[in-house]
Amino acid sequence: MTLFEARIEITHRPGILDPQGANVERALPALGYQNVRDVRVGKSIRLVLDAPDAETAAAQVEEMCHRLLANPVIEHYAVELMAIAAEPAEASAR
Amino acid sequence: MTLFEARIEITHRPGILDPQGANVERALPALGYQNVRDVRVGKSIRLVLDAPDAETAAAQVEEMCHRLLANPVIEHYAVELMAIAAEPAEASAR
């Protein structure tokens, strides 16, 4: 089994209102940043999972996003996966 | 001036409680994912800014994070910057 770290970015789908982003975009010019636009605020989720290979890990994370982490009707998600350690099977710790 | 897209990941500092992450971590095994741990939920902010060069853009985004986007006492932020387009000022593309 290999340990993977997944970094998931969850953003609003285009056309879905992003009130947090709009607020930040309104606040920035008042602080002197006139050169900023298109602010979007989403979620960033990181988790560690144990899987036999990268394909299995990616499929599982995808499924978790769809079932629990994101709302696929209004949110879009992107997953990045990094192998962080190979665990010795036989002496499969944890 | 060049257009940059900044991707900012805001996470809790180590030792700061992350109740959202803890909730997700508790929910996943009930859905059949026993192999997941270390779930952390943070914010992901994307914005577009106009700056003369990458150094200026990076310094500005850093400052925005510190002043508005993150709470540096309990949150940690990481910034990735991508040039997305050079805007012709006179024609001084960088």
Instruction: Check if the beta carbon of residue A5 is closer than 8 Å to that of residue A81.
Output: yes
Return the residue of A nearest to B30 by Cα: A68
- Split at pLDDT 50, 70, 90, the class of A85 is confident
Instruction: Check if the beta carbon of residue B42 is closer than 8 Å to that of residue B12.
Output: yes
What dihedral do alpha carbons A42, B61, B56, A31 form, nearest 10°?
A: 120
Phi, psi of A33 (to 5 degrees): -100, 95
Tell me the mean pLDDT in the region B74-79.
Answer: 97
Domain-embedded: residue B29: no
The answer, for A58 touching chain B at a CB cutoff of 8 Å, is no
Domain-embedded: residue A23: yes
Domain-embedded: residue A11: yes
The answer, for A30 touching chain B at a CB cutoff of 8 Å, is no
Q: Of all residues in chain A, what percent carry a pLDDT higher than 90? A: 88
pLDDT at B63 over 70: yes
Q: Give residue B77's domain range.
A: 2-15+42-86
The answer, for B60 touching chain A at a CB cutoff of 8 Å, is yes
Domain-embedded: residue A91: no
- Split at pLDDT 50, 70, 90, the class of A86 is confident
What pLDDT was estimated at residue B86?
A: 75
Q: Which residues of B touch A24 (CB under 8 A)?
A: 45, 47, 68-69
Residue range B4-31, pLDDT digits in tens: 999 999 999 999 999 999 999 999 999 9
Distance CA A48, CA A51 (A): 10
What pLDDT was estimated at residue B89?
A: 54
Domain-embedded: residue B56: yes
Domain-embedded: residue B75: yes
Domain-embedded: residue B28: no
For residue A26, give Cα distances in angstroms to A82, B38, B48, B50: 36, 34, 14, 16
Rounded to a whole number of angstroms, the distance from the CA of A46 to the nearest CA of chain B is 5
Instruction: Check if the beta carbon of residue B53 is closer than 8 Å to that of residue B94.
Output: yes
Long-range contact pairs involving B27-36 (C-beta distance under 8 Å, separation at least 24): B27/A68, B28/A64, B28/A68, B31/A64, B31/A67, B31/A68, B33/A49, B33/A60, B33/A64, B35/A49, B35/A50, B35/A51, B35/A60, B36/A47, B36/A48, B36/A49, B36/A64
CATH number for the domain that contains residue A52: 3.30.1280.10
Interface residue of B7, B12, B41 to substitute, partner A, most A CBs within 10 Å: B41
Which has the higher per-residue pLDDT, A1 or A71? A71
Q: B50: which DSSP letter?
A: E
pTM of the model: 0.87
- Split at pLDDT 50, 70, 90, the class of A92 is very low
pLDDT at A93 over 50: no
ipTM, 2 dp: 0.87
Looking at the structure of chain B, the number of domains it has is 1
Pairing of strands A2-12, A36-51: antiparallel
What pLDDT was estimated at residue B85?
A: 82
pLDDT at B71 over 50: yes
Tell me the mean pLDDT in the region A25-30.
Answer: 96
Which candidate from A33, A37, A43 shows the least CB-CB separation from B64?
A33
Domain-embedded: residue A93: no
